[in-house]
Amino acid sequence: MRTITREQLAGMFDHTLLKADASKEELAEACRQCAAYGFKMVAINSAQTSYCKELLKDTKVHVGAAIGFPLGQTTLETKVFETKDAIQNGADEIDYVINIGKLKDKDYAYIKAEMEQIVAVCRENQVISKVIFENCYLTEEEKKVLCGIALEVKPDFIKTSTGFGRSGATVEDVVLMKRMVGDAIKVKASGGVRDLQTALAMIEAGAERIGTSSSIKILEELGEKIEQRGGE
């Protein structure tokens, strides 16, 4: 594993606050933490986009809206509208959940159309697009099919999980996704990344973003290790 600095690791974190009962005070604290620690993005539900954008307007931190979250079971038209609405409210990045039922039905044309339309809206608005697979529900073949569709559509990222499924990111899934898409698309590991060892394992496997609510804890773990080595 290559040496990584605190600043580099912080810049890979999508600091998440996606719980249903998040208060304005909690959102404000999450945004403050993002700015203070240099995290790449605050990951929130789309209804909270404008509030977080206002809080972060004078920082480099991106606001990331979760679309069709966490089940992915809304219509394509609904997801496209929610994407446009989030962008209008200031979203810099969009993380949307695929329609898992359609994938299970082998309706690959629908999955591709969904990805194409949402990614197109993001491109038109110069917003980063991320496609959430929710791998815990998928077979290896279904993961490969999704990667193949992504290679045709070219979103900015493909992502392992919502963090709300039966399980989250695994190193094996990150390896598979990275092997399938190479350098054409970036990979985000999300769900269950709660310590430094796991975060570094995901990065070593090919992840370029980490979605976690344990960002501060992980960064503090790295700081302790750097201090033990006598500084950076």
For the annotated catalytic residues, the residue numbers are: 95, 159, 188
For 182, left (φ over 0), alpha (ψ -120 to 50), or beta? Answer: left
The neighbouring-strand residues paired with 64 are: 43, 93
Identify the bridge partners of residue 187 per DSSP, sorted by sequence position.
Answer: 158, 207
* Nearest in space to 106 (alpha carbons), one of 76, 78, 146, 66: 146
| Amino acid type, 141 | E
> Across the strands, what pairs with 115?
none
Q: What is the DSSP letter of 68?
A: S
Cα(112)–Cα(151) distance, integer angstroms? 10
CA separation for the pair 165, 65 (Å, rounded): 18
3-state secondary structure of 15: strand
